[in-house]
Amino acid sequence: MMPWLRPGYVRVQEGQVDTGMRPEREAKMSTPETEQITGEQLLRDPKRNKGTAFTERERDALGVRGLLPPRVFSQEEQQYRILENLRRKNTSLEKYVFLTGLQDRNEAAFYQTVITNIEEILPIIYTPTVGEACQEFARIFRRPRGMFVSAADRGRIATLLRNWPRPHVAVVVVTDGERILGLGDLGANGMGIPVGKLSLYTACAGIHPSACLPVMLDVGTENTALRKDPLYFGLDQPRLRGAEYEDLVEEFVTAVNEVFPGALIQFEDFATRNAVRLLEKYRDRICMFNDDIQGTAAVTLAGLLSAARITGQALREQKIVFLGAGSAATGIANLIVAALGQDGVDEATARARCWFVDSKGLVVKSRDDLAEHKRPYAHDHEFLPDLQTTVAELRPTTLVGVSGQPGTFTQPVLRMMAEANERPIVFALSNPTSKSECTAEQAYRWTDGRAVFASGSPFDPVELDGRRHVPGQGNNAYVFPGIGLGVVVAGARHVTREMFLAAARVLEGEVTQTSLDEGSVYPPFNRIRDVSAAIAAEVVRVACAGGLATKQVPDDVLGHVRAQMYDANYESYV
C-alpha cells in the first residue's frame, strides 16, 4: 500500500505504541502523523482518537485511563450514538455542523459513519446542504480545516504551503469561491466546497484523509453583502482580475508542485471565464482537472448512455438541448462529441446533435455576442428567443438543465417534450435543490410518467398512477473520487479526456436492469465504493496504456486499487 494512502493511526502491539506506518516510513518521517503521542494530546488528535473505543489494554499503554468513561464501546456502538444524535437535529444545517464537529474530534468515526450510511449522509455533507453551509460558513466556523491562500500572500505561497503539517499530499481541491454551485460569489465562504469534496474522496474512494488538502484561494469578492458582514472572514476587497489574478494562480500551481510534487489539483467552482481558461492553460502542463467541466460531463454522459438503454435510442440518435451555456454545459457537450467520436461519428455530425439556449436565446451563428467556448455549437439556424420556442421548433429528445435558474423546465416545455417523444429524457442538473430547473414530481407528472429523469440534487421517489419512479441523481461524486484514486494509484502525470470517457462508460456499466426498470439511470449510491474502485482501475489502465503512469501496477489492477483504499474501521488498524 502506498505510504500516503496507508492509515496513520495509533494501535497497540504487545504493549507498545505503533503508528500503523511501515518501518521505513517511520524512519524517514517525524510528523504529527507518526509521533507516538499519548494521554490528553492523543484524545485531542482527530486522526488518532478512538474516544470510548480505546480498549482496556490501549487505555493503559496510551495513558488515557481515567480520561475516558470506564465502559469500552465498539465502533458500531459509537456509530449508534452518532446516528441517534444526528437524527435529533431539526435542520440539515444543524446536522452539517454536528458532523463537522465529529470530523474534528474523531476522523475514523466520522468516515465510518458516512461510509456505512452514505445515502443518508451524502446530502448533508455535500449537495444540497453544503450550499447552505457555504452561505453561513463564517457563522458556523469552529475549527480551521485546509489552507486559506489569499491575495495578500503573493510572493510567499510556497512558504505558506509548508505550514501544512502533513507532507504527503496526494490530492488538492481548490476554489476561488466565485461560482459556488448555483449560488454565485461566496468569497472565502466557499471553503465548504473543497472540504466537502475531499470528504467524498475519502468516503467514496478511500483516499486517506491525511493525503487530502482543501484550499481556499481568496482573491476578494464582489458580494458586497458579505464584505459588509462583520463576521465575514475573507479579504475585504473586490476580486483580483487580469494579470494579478493570473499571476496568483500561477504562483499557487507552481508552489503546489514544488511542495507536494505529483499531487493532483482539482479546480472547483471557478467562474466560467476563469474555469475554461485555466483548464486549457494547465491541463497538459500539470496533473489537474476541473470537476465542474469534466466531472459533470462524465456523470452526465453516463446518465445519457443509461437513458439510451431505457428509450432504445442510441446516443448518436439524440438531439440534445442544453439550457445554460456555461463551462459545465459545453463541457458535457464536448465529452458527448468525444464519445460519439469513439463510436465512429465525425465531429461535425456529433456537434450538430447539441444545441444551446443561453440567457439571450438560442446559440446560433448569426449572433455576434458569443463567448469563445460557445462558438463550436453555434449552428446555422434562425435565432429563437427562449427555451419554450426552441423546444417547440427543434423537438429535441433530451433536455439538459445546467442554468442555475429554478423552475425553467415549465409545464408547457415538458408537455412538448412528452408530445415529441415516447420517453423524453429530462436532466435538471442545477444545484442546490433550490436551483433545480424542475422537481422530479413535476418532470414525471407533466410527462404522464414517461420522463427519464435525473437531477443534480436528490429527490425522493415519486408514486404516480400506481407506479414508483426512482429519480437518478447526477452527482459528480459518482466520478471524481474514482478518477482521483486512479490517478494517484497510477501516479499519472496528467488527467486526460480518455479517463473521463472511461469513467463514464464504467459508471453506465454499473447500472443494473433493476435500476433502469425503476427509471434510475445511476446505480444506488450505497455501492459507491465498488463503483469508485472500478472507475479507478480503468483510469489506471488508461494511464498505463497512454504512457502517463509513473508507478508500476500489477496485472490485477482492480485488486491493487482496492488494496490502496482507506478503511475507517478501527479493527483494520489492530
How many residues are recorded in the chain?
A: 574
Cβ–Cβ under 8 Å, residues 204 and 477: yes
387-426 pLDDT tens trace: 999 999 999 999 999 999 999 999 999 999 999 999 999 9
Stretch (H or E) spanning 389: helix 387-394
Provide the pairing of β-strand 11-13 with 16-18: antiparallel
Residue boundaries of the structural domains of the chain: 11-73, 126-286, 294-477, 481-511+521-572
End-to-end CA distance of the chain, in Å? 16
Pick the catalytic residue from 96, 111, 126, 282: 126
Task: Evaluate if residue 69 carries a pLDDT over 80.
Answer: yes
Query: Which residues lie closer than 8 Å to 187 by C-beta, 6 or more apart?
Result: 177, 218, 220, 221, 223, 226, 227, 232, 234, 235
165-202 pLDDT tens trace: 998 999 999 999 999 998 999 999 999 999 999 999 99
99-130 pLDDT tens trace: 999 999 999 999 999 999 999 999 999 999 99
Neighbouring C-beta atoms of residue 11, cutoff 10 Å: 20
Per-position DSSP letters for 107-137, written without gaps between them: HHHHHHHHHHTHHHHHHHHSTTHHHHHHHTH
Triad 549, 554, 556: Cα angle to 5°: 115
Structural fold of domain 11-73: Hemocyanin, N-terminal domain (1.20.1370)
d(CA 302, CA 175): 26
Triad 421, 424, 427: Cα angle to 5°: 160
Catalytic: 126?
A: yes
Q: Which residue has the cell 444540497?
A: 128
Local confidence band at 571 (pLDDT 50, 70, 90 cut-offs) = confident
Provide the pairing of β-strand 361-362 with 288-290: unpaired
Task: Evaluate if residue 6 carries a pLDDT over 90.
Answer: no
514: buried, middle or exposed (CB in 10 Å: 19+, 13-18, 0-12)?
Answer: exposed
User: Distance of alpha carbon 201 from its chain centroid, rounded?
Assistant: 8
pLDDT at 27: 29
d(CA 240, CA 218): 9
Is it true that 126-286 and 294-477 share their CATH fold? yes
d(CA 412, CA 191): 39
483-517 pLDDT tens trace: 999 999 999 999 999 999 999 999 999 999 999 99
Local confidence band at 542 (pLDDT 50, 70, 90 cut-offs) = very high
54: buried, middle or exposed (CB in 10 Å: 19+, 13-18, 0-12)?
Answer: buried
Instruction: For the chain, give the longest Cα–Cα distance.
Output: 79
Structural fold of domain 294-477: Rossmann fold (3.40.50)
Pick the catalytic residue from 50, 197, 374, 435: 197
Provide the pairing of β-strand 288-290 with 264-267: parallel
Neighbouring C-beta atoms of residue 375, cutoff 10 Å: 12
Triad 370, 376, 381: Cα angle to 5°: 75
Local confidence band at 34 (pLDDT 50, 70, 90 cut-offs) = low
Number of H helices, E strands in the chain: 25, 16
Phi, psi of 146 (to 5 degrees): 85, -165
The hierarchical CATH code for the domain 126-286 is: 3.40.50.10380
Task: Evaluate if residue 19 carries a pLDDT over 50.
Answer: no
Cβ–Cβ under 8 Å, residues 92 and 129: yes
